[in-house]
Homo-oligomer: A and B are copies of this chain.
Amino acid sequence: MFEFKVEAESGPARAGTLSLPHGTVETPVFMPVGTQGTVRALSPADLRAAGATLVLANTYHLHVRPGEQVVEKLGALHRFMSWDRPLLTDSGGFQVFSLEGFRRVDDDGVEFQSHLDGGRRTLTPERATEIQWVLGADIAMAFDHVVPGGADQPTARDAMERTLRWLQRCRKRHEELRASHDNQSLWPILQGGTHLELRTEGLRRILELGTWTGLAIGGLSVGEPKAVMYDMLERLEPKLPAIPRYLMGVGFPEDLVAAVERGVDLFDCVAPTRNGRNGSAFTPDGPVNIRNAEHREDPQPLDATCDCETCTTFSRGYLRHLFMAGELLGLKLLSLHNVRYLIRLAGEMRAAIRRSAFGPWAAEWRRRYLHSGSA
């Protein structure tokens, strides 16, 4: 359990297999996001049909509603949401630092306002670890202090230092909890904003704290220019150990390709479902807005290369009708396609890596997706 094998490499891009208590995950992998214990508009059967192997759920959201005690009473997170494949929970750090409203940080933890009832609550490294233990995902994340993408060096250092101190407390609590059975692994989150020297130092200090079965890179894709994120990944890559690397909150198809090219293995993002609900679909030729009038009488599928229920069953004209008519089925069908698109994209990258041809594959993919070979 918690074993990761790199099976093929093509430059920094890697194809691997991650063994977890609830199953095996082939990487690169895209994780659909089940914020409230459900991937919006999709059922577990839909997710299986889309080929999802690893799903993310948000500790913050489940903590405030229905509460981890309710999830525990209903058999812990896997059974609660009827997902028998691997799960990952984030720590709540990102949410308490990004949601609006009152927030007070000290070294003990964060006092914040629930977005539901405005009530004051506190998360500490220990509490975040305990809640995730109760939820029972295969992978839990360490509680971290996230700063905005443009944070200056002293602010970013302060948050990084706190995140490192909290990591030790998370690890201690996690070790205590898992003394009896080894069902969950804790992954650290590397912070440091857009400051390479902080990221490099943070990475060194995380690795000095012990061995880990995986490592997340947080605090990117939070408002900084994409070139900055790509550059950061490129410079960090040679220093990263062989364990799985999870780039949090990323992303769009072009981001997945660029990040895999720079050695990243795992991704999560709400983009496929959020964009899907807005009528925006990923296709090999770039995004399509299904509401556009050009699709009104179009009998073709959304994406002729796709094997999902949406693309094998319905015309663009019908999908447009569903959106123009405000029908719920449209929200599901585009969400399903977009999730399937990213999972297939990860699969295509894996195949290209295995035939040692990631570079040419990526160039051809970009030529078609971006209508240019340069982005």
Count chain B CB atoms within 10 A of each CB in A309, A317, A328, A333 and give the residue with the most. A328
Chain A interface extent, by class:
35 or more
In chain A, positions 53-98 with a C-beta closer than 8 Å to chain B are 65-66, 70, 73-75, 80-82
**Chain B, Cβ-Cβ closest to A72:** B297
**In the assembled complex, how far is the CB of residue A34 from the closest CB belonging to chain B, in whole angstroms?**
10
- Among listed A38-46, A177-185, A339-347, interface-contacting one: A38-46
- Among listed A128-136, A220-228, A259-267, A318-326, interface-contacting one: A318-326
**In the assembled complex, how far is the CB of residue A306 from the closest CB belonging to chain B, in whole angstroms?**
16
Chain A 301-322, CB-CB to B under 8 Å as 1, else 0, gives 0000000010001110110111
**B333/A43 in contact, CB under 8 A:** yes
Residues of B within 8 A of A315 (CB): 74-75, 80
**A66/B328 in contact, CB under 8 A:** no
Given A82-B318, A321-B65, does the pair A328, B70 have CB atoms closer than 8 Å?
A: no
A residues contacting B by CB (< 8 A) are 36-38, 40-45, 65-66, 70, 73-75, 80-82, 296-297, 299, 309, 313-315, 317-318, 320-322, 324-325, 327-329, 331-333
**A309/B45 in contact, CB under 8 A:** yes
**In the assembled complex, how far is the CB of residue A276 from the closest CB belonging to chain B, in whole angstroms?**
11
Residues of B within 8 A of A37 (CB): 318, 321
**Selected contact of A38 from candidates B38, B70, B327, CB within 8 Å:** B327
Given A43-B309, A70-B297, A82-B313, does the pair A65, B325 have CB atoms closer than 8 Å?
A: yes
